[in-house]
Structure 1
Amino acid sequence: MKQLILIIDDDENFIADLKLLLKKNFDAVSADNIQEGMILLQKHSPDLIILDLMLKDGESGLSAIDLIKMEDKNIPIIMVTDYSSVETAIKAIKKGAFDYISKTTKISELKLLIDKALEHRLLLLRTKAFEEDLEKPFKNMIGTSVVMQKLKEQIQLFANNSSTLLIYGESGTGKELVTRQIHQISERANEPFIAVNCAAIPKELLESELFGYEKGAFTGADSRTAGRFELAGNGTLFLDEIGELDQRAQVTLLRVLQEKEFYRVGGRNPIKTNARVIAATNKKLETMVKKGLFREDLFYRLDILRIDVPPLRERKKDIPLLVKHFTKVASQEAKVPLKMFAKESLQLLMDYDWPGNVRELYNFIMRAVVLSQNSEEICLNLPDRMRLGVLDAYYQLDNEIKSWSDLIEARKNAADKASRQVEKYFIEKSLIKYNNNISLCAKELGIDRTTLHKTIKRIKDGEN
């Protein structure tokens, strides 16, 4: 089977000539804009992309490089243009292009460059396969920060220990994901993984849920039913929100952990359990013990081994990786073309503390992806910015308001600040869209170059 080349270029004659010249050695598909090119990339997974620097309607091939690399970071990109310049070539290569040629390049030179690029891709894929083999147990644990490396080390260390394990972490940090990773790399990986949310089960039903019941044990018990401990067998039983157990349930669980056996509700014969119990909570159990809300003996029985899952604010270095992953997932779920976050928007995500942690970040990105369907990149709208707290500056008062005239002046200043902020946001987004091409940007905005230059200078002066 021939290797496949994707050509993204708006010059129909060039595409036709190139396909004809490459026909002997390669298959080729083409698109005349970035959006169609991304659709073909996702559909066909080509081996190489030939990308025009300047497409129709002011689209820049440079802006497509980031989108392509988000979809396939190992695919080689060869930039092609009539506007040959060293400066542009350096920009393209810095953004991830393999190399850069002009449209007047001989076919023999282009063929040689394609072969080199494909060899380079093969080397990258082999290296990636080796790295993935080493990292395979943690493929769902996204992050390279120091605290995430420590977390992975703890998971590896505790995986094949049969002692009970307590996982602490704020809501949304991924405690169940950590538990599943432990199970997947342990000797119990081929045994059941049973998860129980203790907070979601009414206290009067918890015992029958955990230990099962015999026929006739209570009204509606029409047949013998296995509980979660029994279903777990030799696998892992994950008790989430363990801090929500009432005192009676705590006593029962303590006995099971000590004796390694339990009784079905209404049963008389003990049933042995070999399941490993991993409990998780977002509450400080030590504090609950001091207040008499959680049994001390149960706490120490659970806290033999412990993992603290870091909140997202303590691993902000991982946010770009999480954003990249969640954007791809959200785009697939929403069935929209993959886009990237605008640089300024990504920085706002980095600056926010995310009290809801990774879960909040994912929900935020899903919403942003859906609302950005009609734009080239994902930008945050005013409600999003207010939620992240980046519009507070609009309402910071320089002086205390003491009179009606002070109020009028404060409102005027606030409106001026808001106006400058909106102007700055719009101009920066427009410049990014047109690759900092002042002439093209001014033309598309319907103003002259002088007006645009003055606006940019006013924005810069306001930042100083």
Structure 2
Amino acid sequence: MAEKIVLYTKDRSLKKELSGQLPRGYSLERPDKTPVQSIVFYDLDSMRSGGIKELSENNPVVALTKHRHTETVMEAVSYGAYEVIQRPVKKDSLARLLDELISFRQEITETIDMTDPFPAPTCAIVGNSPIIMDVCKKLARLSQVEVPVLVTGETGTGKELIAEAIAQLSSRFGKPFVVVNCAAVPEALLESELFGFEKGSFTGAVAPKEGMLKIADGGCVFFDEVGELPLSLQGKLLRFLQTQTFYPIGSTKELQVDVRVISATNRNLSAMVREGKFREDLYHRIRVTTIEIPPLRERKKDFIPLIHFFLDRYRHTAQRQIKGISKAFLKKLVSYDWPGNIRELENNIRSAIALSKAHYLTTFELKGIEAHVRQAQTPEETIAAAVVPYLKNAIEKKEKNIYDRLIGEIDRAALQYILSHTHDNQSEAARLLGINRLTLRKKLQG
């Protein structure tokens, strides 16, 4: 049975032109009654472009025009046209477009409805997977005790949200929450931003200024990306953490404050300590307790609530009402690795909403992540993918003792990760690795 295309035109020559270019299996129909989800061709040169708006509510509309003006194209798209093609129509281009439209129409037959408002999340992180439930329980406990907290996790996982939630659930709710981005403030300015300064203490200090620590008095100070803190400032911060006192630059008067310190990093601080890039005493001061935020790729069960949450947040920006997503859309999101985690997911949802061509988000709005979809690998394949390039490079360079060097690199990486995971508990690290503690110590010393 031929696939029917409904043609809206007052130009008889267009029907003749299209009939000669349509692939086999398609036929043109008059617009007596347009069934839902029919493919519609709309002649911009003989019909009002505003007519596209109503038709595109339930049908993919392809606009056609002889003109090569950007205004015509933009107007058609703003009314909801799926695509705009120039006349004369090329047979190959038309065939590719029709194949895409059939796939698009097929995809939105299997959808997940998300029209109901998303329930307000009870935790700082949206989701209901067991791993997120554990994070939320730990967050609730730590908010009730006055100890420094180190929040760890990859970039984009929501570390600042966790820090804010700890402050809001604590007795310091409503008090200042001051963010110090250790990576964003230039090293030369960081000390004056933290501690403040007196008038005339350096060139340009025309008036005294309170530092962030003074502004945070009574509340919380959040050191974001604390791993980027320069060594020259780490000692001064350590003294503040020990005494809650500091001297503004150029002042002889010591100030006392009452602040709770929360820090966050995506770096491996224990490895930085061993490399001499981060003070060990400061490391132990800021990580009295820790919360590790899992990466998005380990939270497969949270994708639907996360998508629903962002859909509710941004659906007002869409050209048409967004009712939900296709099942293929969800499958594609789950199969991706998400190196940028929640932040990257949020941006992709926003982009898909802005580019949506139907009432449901589809994979046709996710072409930007197509090249990065992860192929499932066994643990053995993953290890081989890392080791083989190393061996090839060593052989090409005619290096010696390749085996010993390879084992040394693997040992180093494994020990760094396992010690970070166990928070430098060597007994637990040895147990997880299946070796005795003496062997572990020898490897660390070697």
Using structure 2 for the length normalisation, give the TM-score. 0.57
1:380 equivalent to 2:370? Answer: no
RMSD: 2.8
1:324 equivalent to 2:308? Answer: yes
1:369 positional shift: 1.1
Contact 1:328 1:338 in 2 (8 A): no
Using structure 1 for the length normalisation, give the TM-score. 0.55
- CA deviation string 1:14-55 (max 9, x = no partner): xxxxxxxxxxxxxxxxxx99969xxxxxxxxxxxxxxxxxxx
Counterpart CA distance in 2 for 1:337 and 1:66 is 15
Matches within 5 A, 1:203-214: 203-214=187-198
1:197 equivalent to 2:181? Answer: yes
Contact 1:35 1:337 in 2 (8 A): no
Q: Which amino acid aligns with 1:266?
A: G
1:314 equivalent to 2:298? Answer: yes
Counterpart CA distance in 2 for 1:248 and 1:334 is 49
Find the residue that maps to 1:167 and give its secondary structure.
Answer: strand
- CA deviation string 1:211-241 (max 9, x = no partner): 1111111111121111110111110100000
Which residue does 1:183 correspond to in 2?
167
- CA deviation string 1:327-368 (max 9, x = no partner): 222222456522322111111111212111101111111111
Find the residue that maps to 1:347 and give its secondary structure.
Answer: helix
> Any stretches of 5+ residues in structure 2 without a counterpart?
1-53, 59-104, 377-446
Where relative contact order (Cα < 8 A, 6+ residues apart) is larger, the structure is 2
Counterpart CA distance in 1 for 2:57 and 2:315 is 13
Q: Which amino acid aligns with 1:310?
A: P
1:354 equivalent to 2:305? Answer: no
Which residue does 1:283 correspond to in 2?
267
Which residue does 1:70 correspond to in 2?
115
Which residue does 1:341 correspond to in 2?
325
Aligned mate of 1:158, from 128, 142, 145: 142
- CA deviation string 1:310-340 (max 9, x = no partner): 1111111101110111122222245652232
- CA deviation string 1:424-445 (max 9, x = no partner): xxxxxxxxxxxxxxxxxxxxxx
From the superposition, tell whether residues 253 and 321 of structure 1 become closer, same or farther in structure 2 (CA, over 3 Å). Answer: same
Identity within the alignment, %: 38
Matches within 5 A, 1:121-270: 136=122, 138=123, 140-270=124-254
> Any stretches of 5+ residues in structure 1 without a counterpart?
1-31, 37-58, 74-127, 393-464
Query: Which of the pair is proportionally richer in helix?
Result: 1
Find the residue that maps to 1:279 and give its secondary structure.
Answer: strand
How many residues of Structure 1 are paired with residues of Structure 2 in the alignment?
Answer: 275
Counterpart CA distance in 2 for 1:350 and 1:333 is 24
Contact 2:337 2:373 in 1 (8 A): no
From the superposition, tell whether residues 279 and 385 of structure 1 become closer, same or farther in structure 2 (CA, over 3 Å). Answer: closer
Contact 1:348 1:388 in 2 (8 A): no
Counterpart CA distance in 2 for 1:210 and 1:228 is 5
Contact 2:245 2:256 in 1 (8 A): yes
